[in-house]
A and B are shown apart, each in its own frame.
Chain A
Amino acid sequence: QKEVEQNSGPLSVPEGAIASLNCTYSDRGSQSFFWYRQYSGKSPELIMFIYSNGDKEDGRFTAQLNKASQYVSLLIRDSQPSDSATYLCAGGAPGGSQGNLIFGKGTKLSVKP
């Protein structure tokens, strides 16, 4: 059974701290990885897409991918209360195609002022 696992949280961090969200996956065929943010009652938003080993930075967000260890993480620097949401990790086929896309159950992040 192909799985993507995330700690459900809640993960609580103080405002201004670094939030670290982790995700492991079982399917070695997964090549592309996505991080989504979902506010309560809203649709998911894609915040990071990564397919190469290493780090990818976009503003306050850094995604890290380690295919050998089969984990992908998301760091949020200078966390803000507006970052409080559920973060979903997903692994899929090469090239960003949604093929074989498996989602984790999400980690709930709470940023305290």
Chain B
Amino acid sequence: KAGVTQTPRYLIKTRGQQVTLSCSPISGHRSVSWYQQTPGQGLQFLFEYFSETQRNKGNFPGRFSGRQFSNSRSEMNVSTLELGDSALYLCASSLEVVAGGSYEQYFGPGTRLTVT
């Protein structure tokens, strides 16, 4: 089956602009999570969506937002971009954990955002 896709793969924006990133999960996966990865801070959790609802949110300012559509596709938006927002943004789709402890999660290739 097709993997997690993210668009665009690369993006260059200017400070103050806004950006929207898109993530299409694996078919059948209803949970989508977003992460930011930088050399300095490592991998950090942004938010998690399940069935169009934000289930969890990481410790990021309100400039970072997201949503999930009925087909489980998700978007994240960053407004008023700052230089420090330059990072690799990853999304991952996962199956809801069921009794027995199995968990399935796959990451997309990421969107490399550069803010100048």
Contact = CB atoms under 8 A, between A and B. Distances in A.
Are chains A and B native binding partners rather than an unrelated pairing?
Answer: yes
Is chain B's binding surface mostly helix, strand, loop or mixed? Answer: strand
Contacts, number: 58
Contacts of A101: 33, 45, 56, 58
A90 B42 CA distance: 12
Contacts of A93: 56
Nearest to B57: A99
A46 B45 contact: no
Contacts of B97: 95-97
Interface residues of A, number: 24
A88 B43 contact: yes
Contacts of B42: 88, 103-106
Interface of A: 34, 43-46, 49-52, 88, 90, 93, 95-106
Shortest beta-carbon contacts, A-B, top 4: A99-B56, A96-B97, A43-B107, A101-B45
Interface of B: 31, 33, 42-45, 48, 55-56, 58, 90, 94, 97, 101-110
